[in-house]
Structures are given as C-alpha cells and as structure tokens.
Amino acid sequence: MKKIVFIIILGLLWTTIPVEAQHRRGHRDRYEYAQGRPRLQYVIGHNAVLFDGKVIKGASPAYFKVLRDGYARDDWKVYYMGKAIKGANSNSFKVLDNGYAKDSWDVYYHGSKIKGANSGSFKVLNGRYARDAWDVYFKGMKIKGASPGSFKVLRDGYACDAWNVYYNGDKIKGASPERFRILRDGYAEDGRNTYYLGRKVSRR
C-alpha cells in the first residue's frame, strides 16, 4: 500500500516539473520550456543552424556553439538572438552577465556594440550597471558625468558616486550621496528629502 501511495505522489510531482527542451542536434522543438513559458532557442541541425524557425545564413553547424543570454558563435562569427554581430571576434568573445558581453576590442549589450567602452577594464556590476576605467553604464548606455572610481550600486535601481545619486542610470537632482539610504519598495531618503522610484516626494 505504501509503495502504491509513493508511486502516485511521485507521478504528481513529475507532472509539475517544468519541461526543459534538450540542446541537441536535430531537436525539432524551437522552444525551450521553463516554468511553463516558451523561450526562444538555437537549434543545430545536420545542415543548418536555426533560431525562431529561421535558418541562420552562413552559420556552421559543425562549429556552432550556444553560449547563454541569447549569444552563440561559430569559428567565424558571433550571434545574438539569431543575428550576426557585425565585427565581433569569435575567438576572443565571451558572455559576461546581465546581457553584457565582450571580445578583445569591444563591449556589447544585448548584441549591440557599446560605443567607446573599454574591453580590457570593463566590469559588470549589479542591477544592469557596469563600468570601465573611464565611464559608467546602465543597460549599455553611458551615464553622463558618473565617476567610475567612486561609483557603487546600492539596490532597487539606486546607485551613487562621490557627488551624485542615480536611479536606473538617471541622476537624481539634489540628492546627497553622503546621507542617502534605501528604505523599501522603491523608497529612499537623504535626510532632507524622500524619494520614490528616483523622484522626490513632494511635501504637502
């Protein structure tokens, strides 16, 4: 009796486990399932590489390698979401985190080259922030005037350097970094003002 109950429970648990499509050549499904939702993926066939049901022109099945975060490469090109990244170097290309990647010369965010970013000193921070030796970035966009030497990510989208406070990459006018602290649910304060999602809360 106990054995029967155990088998029934095991069967119920199995039906609740998300189905994860396997990464193997010739797999017919073009989606990878996680938590019940379809996710686009690369499919490597014998004669072609596909993404979202379309053949990736020029991609080599024999040398094609799926990386992560939508990136992939073969011996000649780098791809993001099935499209070749112009000028990216396949041999030195590596995926970082939060959509960022780089090769020996350039840095990319979701497959787009970040103009002026320095590959050698580029570092991904938390909350989609990043920095190199000269600039700070949010979602691949340069934050004007931010100091990489003193820049630090707080949490909930907030960050600061020695002179300013930022929310999702935008400078919060007048906020004091010395006294700034995060409260909860998007709220923060600096001793003079309270902020919600980066905006000053007016006092009535």
The domain spans of the chain are: 125-204
- Chain mean pLDDT for the chain: 85
- How sure is the predictor about 7, in pLDDT bands with cuts at 50, 70 and 90? very low
The H or E element containing residue 11 is: helix 2-16
Q: How far apart are CA 3 and CA 119, in angstroms?
A: 59
Bigger pLDDT: 23 or 132? 132
Task: Name which residue leads in pLDDT, 4 or 124.
Answer: 124
pLDDT tier at 70 (50, 70, 90 boundaries)? very high
Residue-wise pLDDT tens digits, 188-197: 999 899 999 9
202 pLDDT band, cuts 50/70/90, is: confident
Q: How high is the pLDDT of residue 39?
A: 61
180 membership: H or E segment, kind and range:
none
**8: Cβ–Cβ under 8 A, 6 or more apart, which residues?**
none
